[in-house]
Amino acid sequence: MPYREEQRKPHSIGSVMHVSKSTGQLIVRAKEEASIGDFVYDSKRKRVGVVFDFFGPVDGPYIAVKPHSDPAGFVGAELYVEERRRERRR
């Protein structure tokens, strides 16, 4: 059965440390969980990009965010994802 996703309040995933020179992705030190494919927002709830990958040690992972626009302006910015609860459709 397909799932319907319900949006919830946003929570911080961390701040942007730098922009990857090779891929142009935003690199974030993870403070909270996120899922690949989650939309990422700035503090004004403007969509910044999407969670693309996780890497690094298990006890201190990093998140790669694929940005929708110029990534240079986001260095140092706090990024957020919205909590989602999956419900089964009836």
* Distances 67 to 21, 37, 47, 53, 85 between C-alpha atoms, Å: 13, 12, 9, 12, 24
CATH 2.40.10.230 assigned to domain 11-84? The reply is: yes
* Distances 16 to 4, 58, 63, 86 between C-alpha atoms, Å: 30, 19, 9, 28
Specify the amino acid at residue 9.
K
Of 7 and 19, which is predicted with more confidence?
19
Whole-structure pTM value: 0.79
Read off the pLDDT of residues 35-86 as tens digits, 9 standing for 90 and up. 999 999 999 999 999 999 999 999 989 999 999 988 888 899 999 998 666 5
